[in-house]
């Protein structure tokens, strides 16, 4: 039985195409001749380890894919990949928990590269009430699937069509950047879920708005959120480089008041 391994040159060409760069563009960015790059991509020249890492840097390849490129070129991976339970990652994970806890009384969660939930703060719990399918809350909880599944949070998202389009566009950009087959399959799955367009009112863009908020039904109220994404700035570990924290902020004073009240109720219940 034989196996086919993609060559380093082929991977470089694929990532160059993914980044919409010509050979000349990449050669200029890498400060090498186009002729040499052409030889590398065709397999007529074997790049050094330093050249492989240099080209990967110019292509903004994720650390996981840089390791794959190194292996294809015949070199050992340069970046470690540790499980989240590894003690080496403990300080970084403690930092994540500090960020999550510090964001209360507003919701915040940490996810891995496939959007599986790693951790969340206490403020997220009340927003997940009413999920019809308990299996969606069983680990590993995929945050995107939970959000858009018709038996998940989707029925409570007032602006589902708008929010669904936002999440799918974000996932598409991530797929364009990483080329992860698991994410490609996840995007394909999510696109089969109801779009929320049937019977929906046209989306009205607020003239003074700065972002499209997530609007979530909570009892007889509608909570409005804007969100930010936080990642580690200089990771050298593959797992750590793929962690992201999404923090939700109240988009209006009514939402802020509800979240503060819920936090007080949780504190009183636990005392």
- Does position 208 have pLDDT exceeding 90, yes or no? no
Crossing angle for the helix pair 23-30 and 34-42, to the nearest 10 degrees? 110
User: For residue 174, what pLDDT is reported?
Assistant: 86
153 contacts 145 by C-beta, under 8 angstroms: no
User: Which range is least confidently modeled, 1-5, 18-22, 139-143, 173-177?
Assistant: 1-5
Residues 27-76 have pLDDT tens digits of 999 999 999 999 999 999 999 999 999 999 999 999 999 999 999 999 99
User: For residue 110, what pLDDT is reported?
Assistant: 98
How far apart (Å, rounded) are the C-alpha atoms in residues 235 and 256? 33
pLDDT confidence tier of residue 173, bands split at 50, 70 and 90: confident
The half-sphere exposure of 241 on its side-chain side, counting CA atoms within 13 A, is: 17
For residues 139 and 17, state if they share a domain.
Answer: no
pLDDT confidence tier of residue 175, bands split at 50, 70 and 90: confident
For residues 121 and 57, state if they share a domain.
Answer: no
- Does position 9 have pLDDT exceeding 80, yes or no? yes
- Does position 15 have pLDDT exceeding 90, yes or no? yes
For residues 33 and 119, state if they share a domain.
Answer: no
Highest averaged pLDDT of the listed ranges 3-7, 163-167, 198-202: 163-167
User: For residue 20, what pLDDT is reported?
Assistant: 92
- Does position 177 have pLDDT exceeding 60, yes or no? yes
229 contacts 244 by C-beta, under 8 angstroms: yes
For residues 167 and 258, state if they share a domain.
Answer: yes
For residues 34 and 161, state if they share a domain.
Answer: no
Domain count across the chain: 2
Bridge partner list, 218: 221
How far apart (Å, rounded) are the C-alpha atoms in residues 224 and 259? 11
Please name which of 49, 97, 89 lies closest in space to residue 72, comparing C-alpha atoms: 49
Angle at 105 between CA 168 and CA 95, to 5 degrees: 75
How far apart (Å, rounded) are the C-alpha atoms in residues 244 and 128? 20
User: For residue 94, what pLDDT is reported?
Assistant: 97
How far apart (Å, rounded) are the C-alpha atoms in residues 116 and 228? 17
75 contacts 92 by C-beta, under 8 angstroms: no
Q: Which two tokens stand for residue 173?
A: 């950009």
Crossing angle for the helix pair 23-30 and 49-58, to the nearest 10 degrees? 110
- Does position 206 have pLDDT exceeding 80, yes or no? no
User: For residue 259, what pLDDT is reported?
Assistant: 97
Beta strand 244-250 with 221-230 is antiparallel
* 150 inside domain: yes
User: For residue 102, what pLDDT is reported?
Assistant: 97
Residues 210-262 have pLDDT tens digits of 677 899 999 899 999 999 999 998 899 999 999 999 999 999 999 999 999 99
CATH of the domain at 126: 3.30.450.180
Residues 114-144 have pLDDT tens digits of 999 999 999 999 889 889 999 999 999 999 9
How far apart (Å, rounded) are the C-alpha atoms in residues 142 and 135? 11
Bridge partner list, 110: 119, 245
For residues 22 and 138, state if they share a domain.
Answer: no
Cα 93 from chain centroid? 17
Q: What is the sign, positive or negative, of the torsion defined by CA atoms of 84, 90, 96, 102?
A: positive
CATH of the domain at 68: 1.10.260.40
Domain coverage including residue 15: 8-72
pLDDT confidence tier of residue 79, bands split at 50, 70 and 90: very high
* 3-class secondary-structure state, position 197: coil
Q: What is the sign, positive or negative, of the torsion defined by CA atoms of 27, 32, 38, 42?
A: negative
**Mean pLDDT calculated for residue range 160-169:** 92
């Amino acid at each position: 039985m034989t196996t086919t391994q993609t060559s380093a040159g082929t991977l470089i060409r694929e990532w160059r195409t993914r980044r919409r760069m010509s050979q000349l563009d990449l050669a200029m960015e890498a400060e090498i001749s186009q002729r040499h790059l052409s030889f590398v991509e065709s397999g007529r020249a074997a790049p050094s380890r330093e050249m492989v890492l240099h080209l990967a840097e110019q292509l903004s390849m994720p650390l996981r894919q840089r390791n794959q490129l190194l292996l294809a070129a015949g070199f050992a991976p340069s970046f470690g990949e540790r499980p989240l339970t590894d003690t080496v990652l403990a300080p970084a994970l403690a930092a994540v928990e500090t960020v999550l806890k510090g964001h209360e009384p507003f919701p915040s969660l940490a996810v891995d590269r496939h959007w599986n939930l790693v951790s969340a703060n206490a403020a997220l719990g009340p927003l997940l009430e009413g999920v019809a399918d308990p299996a969606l809350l069983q680990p590993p909880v995929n945050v995107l699937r939970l959000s858009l599944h018709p038996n998940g949070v989707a029925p409570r998202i007032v602006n589902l069509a708008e929010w669904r389009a936002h999440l799918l566009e974000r996932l598409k950009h991530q797929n364009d950047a990483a080329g992860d087959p698991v994410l490609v399959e996840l995007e394909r799955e999510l696109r089969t879920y109801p779009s929320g367009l049937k019977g929906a009112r046209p989306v009205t863009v607020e003239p003074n708005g700065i972002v499209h908020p997530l609007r979530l039904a909570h009892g007889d109220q509608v909570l409005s959120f804007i969100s930010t994404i936080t990642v580690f700035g200089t990771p050298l570990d593959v797992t750590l480089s793929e962690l992201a924290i999404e923090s939700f902020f109240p988009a209006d004073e009514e939402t802020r008041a509800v979240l503060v009240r819920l936090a007080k109720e949780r504190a009183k219940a636990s005392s």
